[in-house]
Amino acid sequence: MTDDVWAFEKQARKNGFFAVAGIDEAGRGPLAGPVVSAAVILPENFPVAGINDSKKLSPGKREKLYDDIYRHAVAVGVGIVDSAEIDRINILQASLTAMAIAARNLSPAPDYLLIDGQFSIPANFPQKPVIKGDSLSISIAAASIIAKVTRDRMMAVYAKEYPEFDFSTHKGYPTKAHKQAICKYGCSPIHRLTFKGVKEHYQPG
């Protein structure tokens, strides 16, 4: 994280906003499973140390911080878009939709959004996209942790439904083992049928 992880939140408050939410997503790259977004409003006196981009944290650290964020956040919202909708509208639009759902699921509602990436989202709130925001804003980093842990837990459940794909290990990402399983077993109901590496093996039944 940068030296002042609260810089974007402070600027928003200086501009008159009070409920500043960070938003991030997990699961744009996998070949299977949903894309999951989270929105988090943190209090100014947030007492938890170690918040960082979820990709830079161990699974155990993410799990602990997930609990700490839920315990101390003003509000947490989650948005989930499944693989069928990803195939219908494409992964970028699905990610932005999931982010908008996460924002709408915040209670109390936000009055300003800090969004990881370069795109605004379809939500009626003042908002600021922040490229590499999960490394620059503590609120976005907190959202990245919530989104990642939520999605990983979902994939662990799917692993029990479709054990041949070992989703609990690779979380649907295009690992060598995952691609070999697709070649051997075909597609599960949660595979993204428009994605390269999946569509070649899809056989409409």
* Whether the predicted pLDDT of 3 surpasses 90: no
Domain at 89, CATH number? 3.30.420.10
Q: Which of 98, 96, 103 is nearest to 117 (CA)?
A: 96
* Whether the predicted pLDDT of 194 surpasses 70: yes
* Whether the predicted pLDDT of 2 surpasses 70: no
Task: Say how far apart CA 9 and CA 68 lie, in whole Å.
Answer: 19
Confidence of residue 204 (pLDDT cuts 50, 70, 90): confident
Residue 197 lies in a domain: no
- Find the mean pLDDT for residues 18-41: 98
Number of domains in the chain: 1
Residue 192 lies in a domain: no
- DSSP symbols for the chain: --S-TTHHHHHHHHTT---EEEEEEE-SS-SBS-EEEEEEE--TT--------GGGS-HHHHHHHHHHHHHH-SEEEEEEE-HHHHHHH-HHHHHHHHHHHHHHT-SSPPSEEEEESS---SSSS-EEEETTGGGT-HHHHHHHHHHHHHHHHHHHHHHHHSGGG-HHHHTT---HHHHHHHHHH---TTB-TTSTTTGGG----
pLDDT digits (tens, 9 = 90+) for 103-121: 999 999 999 999 999 999 9
Task: Say how far apart CA 74 and CA 152 lie, in whole Å.
Answer: 23
* Whether the predicted pLDDT of 205 surpasses 80: no
Q: Is there a contact between 24 and 116 (Cβ–Cβ < 8 Å)?
A: yes
pLDDT digits (tens, 9 = 90+) for 5-20: 999 999 999 999 999 9
0.85 surpassed by pTM: yes
pLDDT at site 193: 97
Confidence of residue 93 (pLDDT cuts 50, 70, 90): very high
Residue 147 lies in a domain: yes
If you search the block for the tokens 């219908």, which residue do you land on? 88
Confidence of residue 177 (pLDDT cuts 50, 70, 90): very high
Residue 18 lies in a domain: yes
User: What domain range includes position 138?
Assistant: 7-161
Residue 172 lies in a domain: no
Residue 46 lies in a domain: yes
pLDDT digits (tens, 9 = 90+) for 67-87: 999 999 999 999 999 999 999
Residue 204 lies in a domain: no
Task: Say how far apart CA 168 and CA 157 lie, in whole Å.
Answer: 8
Residue 193 lies in a domain: no
